[in-house]
Amino acid sequence: MSRRDYRKKGVTLDKDIAGDLTFSRGEYLRRYEQMRAAMDKRGLACLVVTGNTGWFNGEQANLRYVTGLDIWLEPWFAVFPLQGDPVVFYKQGVFSQRGLSPTAPIALEGTPLKPGTGNGAYFEPFVAKKVKELGFDGKTVGLAIERVFPANALRELQKEVPHAKFVDADDLMNEVRLVKSAEEIKFYRRSGYCADKAMEALLDAVRPGVTERELYLAADNAAVLAGCNPGGFQLLGSGKWPTLGLLSLGTGRKLQRGEVFLNELTASYKGYCTQLAVPVWLGSAPHKDFLQFLEVNRAIYAAQFEAFRPGANNREIDQLGEKLAPQLSGGKLGSHFACQTLDFERSFEHPSVDLEPGIGFILMPWIHHTEPGKFVGHGLGNTVMCTAGEPLLLNKSRQCLVMVD
């Protein structure tokens, strides 16, 4: 399809997801109820929640989930007791994080600056003292999550509550965050709109002579104007088919006629991520092997989309690609996975999940050539949410080859 035909119908923003979305107090109370039920089941007296800026701030997801604050800079902490309001620690004088919602029932406690610094965070001793003050020495304390939990914070906890037992709460947080609420799905729909707007801008800007870095900026700027934070995970790649390399965050390479341009755009609307890929060919005569690659992509995506129903397992859906890719390509192509969880920091873990309404995945077949030295990666795909019936498409961009002459 020509770029002109593809762009005839622009993406519009649904009224119910317009403006600056926030969560209700009831949404946070729902989360807290589920977290406490899971804590009680595991015998946990409290959680100590933190994060970091890894995975494009994806590792802050648990903090955002509990606090309602769009934490994007330093590793804040929250103490979440089995009973009572969560306590969120912030650096005194610099409480400038933008809230996702003003309604989260949290208690805020400022901490002084680290001795000998003019702006150093100094959370850990005060977090540990709060755990002691609340009477959790000798109790079981969950670390949310152990994978990113700072060693200095653990040392302070062990000093203040030496008889406490510390356990990883990764599985607990994954369990309570897995099924998205109606309010969260609105955030995902807005994220899908942001990705669509980024794709519109990308397709408007792509042409021979433009650099990948310029295209990154075009896509990311559009996502920001639609509501995302800047500095998104926009993967791009261009070159001769089939020898172009893995996609990256954009280089100074200039696109040329007779080449393919592939993309994997990520929109993070207040931490709620969707992804979108639409392939582009520069010129009028796509490489025949590239057309076969896309046909295999389309067939796998169609089969996996049809299978994305309640009761299915994401690994079973992935296996459809493993079966179809070699069948449809005469053994030239393979596909190990397509489903990546919407909880962005876990997207590369590929956890096994039985689908039910409210569970979403990025559905983007990963295709590899069996011959070494040829392209490995995504050609097309988008983001879907499981419902009681047909999956909800979170992106409205069409899944087809766009021709730029």
- What percentage of the chain carries pLDDT values higher than 90? 80
Tell whether the model's pLDDT for residue 59 goes beyond 70. yes
pLDDT recorded at residue 52: 82
Tell whether the model's pLDDT for residue 97 goes beyond 70. no
Give Dmax over CA atoms of the chain in angstroms.
71
Q: Which of 277, 113, 289 is nearest to 196 (CA)?
A: 277
Pairing label, strands 87-91, 272-276: unpaired
Tell whether the model's pLDDT for residue 132 goes beyond 90. yes
Q: What are phi and psi of 300, to 5 degrees?
A: -65, -45
> Which residues 6+ apart lie within 8 Å of 67 measured at CB?
76, 78, 86, 88, 104, 106
Answer with the residue of higher pLDDT: 180 or 343. Answer: 180
Torsion, Cα of 345, 111, 129, 54 (10° steps): 10
Instruction: Give the containing element (helix H, strand E) for 365.
Output: strand 360-369
How many other CB atoms are found less than 10 A from the CB of residue 84? Answer: 12
Q: Where are the alpha helices (DSSP H) in 124-280?
A: 124-133, 151-160, 170-178, 182-205, 212-226
CATH of domain 25-178: 3.40.350.10
Q: Which of 56, 57, 63, 72 is nearest to 31 (CA)?
A: 63
State the CATH class of domain 179-404: alpha beta
Digit-coded pLDDT (tens) for 20-58: 999 999 999 999 999 999 999 999 999 999 988 787 778
Is the pTM value of this prediction over 0.85? yes
Q: What are phi and psi of 256, to 5 degrees?
A: -135, 155
Rounded to the nearest integer, the mean pLDDT of the chain is 93
Tell whether the model's pLDDT for residue 311 goes beyond 90. yes
> How far apart (Å, rounded) are the C-alpha atoms in residues 89 and 119?
15
pLDDT recorded at residue 93: 63
Domain boundaries, the chain: 25-178, 179-404
Name the 3-class secondary structure at 21.
Answer: coil
